[in-house]
Amino acid sequence: MGDCILVTGGAGFIGSHACLELLNNGDEVIVIDNLDNSSEESLARVQEITKKEITFYKEDLINADAIDSIFSKHKINAVIHFAGLKAVGESNTIPLHYYHNNITGTLVLLNVMKKHKVFNLVFSSSATVYGAAETVPITEDAPLSATNPYGQTKLMIEIMMRDLAKAESEWNIALLRYFNPIGAHESGKIGEDPNGIPNNLVPYISQVAVGKLKELSVFGDDYDTHDGTGVRDYIHVVDLVLGHIKALEKLKTNPGLVTYNLGTGNGCSVLDIIKAFEKASDIKIPYKVAPRREGDAAKCYSDASLAKEELGWVAERDIEIMCEDVWRWQKNNPSGYKA
């Protein structure tokens, strides 16, 4: 018999893939999601793929009484905390909304967990906590800073959790710093479904390929990289969520607070991604070169050797598979979950 895992933000892109792998792992899954930037349809499809049930609550983490009552109804063993607003650009325009939602929501969650004596937590952090990293590959002990309110919320939550684990030894917390999650489940039934115009490269490319958007803007082609375009560490969402399952296993050994990069350890440029996507879709992706964006680093990729060493986890899916899976999802669902 598996564990009972609460997944906050479980209807989102990464959350829905995590629910699927948890169910495949034999765990019971409870989801809390306010559906602010996600669709309940993703969970319906996870249930269809796995032939297993998810218990779903449409609720906001800010609502302490509701969260408390959910914990009262279930014998929860651990929490994976994905819930949060995540658009970098938007966070610059409505910072207070980001701070309130991401930080207050997390404080409520931690207080309710403590009350119900649930002390195992996996937190969805981000490589944005490294700010504009000076050197690559980036290791977990690199200096931390953030260049936008979204990144600041991730960093502040990490600090809160570090302080909590230091003060109260019952807590076991894994801070997982993601690099650039892309891809989709191989079934083509669940994937990334951003609200409005995508903020991220790969969903944007896939919407150009499917005819929803006219062309891609490549921000800067004069960086110090192999082809002049920005280099990032793209990781398949399924590899990413398998890292969470390994982290849950690690927490059972009472490690206190642990921090891991989840990435491939390899950098791919914007043009590399365009080529891989063109190969996967057999469609030419029109693009224009635009000026660099403020705050964009030339190169950002992980050293993920600590996760390999301590979790026995390694990212296995390459950029070709990532693009094939994204294209299958987008082609089958040109309007995302909005049928």
Structural domains for the chain: 4-183+234-263 (3.40.50.720)
Structure tokens of 238?
């399924």
E runs forming strands in the chain? 4-8, 28-33, 54-58, 78-81, 120-126, 172-178, 180-182, 216-219, 231-232, 234-236, 257-262, 268-269, 287-290, 299-300
Please report which residue ranges of 265-304 form alpha helices under DSSP H: 270-281
For CA atoms 54, 59, 61, 64, the dihedral sign is: negative
Catalytic residue, chosen from 150, 178, 234, 301, is 150
**How confident is the model at residue 105, as a pLDDT?**
98
pLDDT of residue 133: 85
Whether residue 234 lies in the annotated active site: no
Tell me which residues of the chain have a pLDDT lower than 50: none
pTM above 0.95, yes or no: yes
Digit-coded pLDDT (tens) for 121-164: 999 999 999 998 889 999 999 999 998 999 999 999 999 999 99
- Per-residue confidence (pLDDT) for residue 295, from 0 to 100: 80
Dump pLDDT digits (tens) for 278-301: 999 999 999 999 999 888 889 999
Distance of CA 321 to the CA centre of its chain: 18
Q: Which two tokens stand for residue 147?
A: 């260049």
CB atoms within 10 A of CB 162: 15
pLDDT of residue 181: 98
Alpha-helical regions (H) of 31-102: 40-50, 64-73, 88-93, 95-98
Strands 28-33 and 54-58: parallel
Runs of H (alpha helix) within 288-318: 305-311
- What does the pLDDT read at residue 1? 79
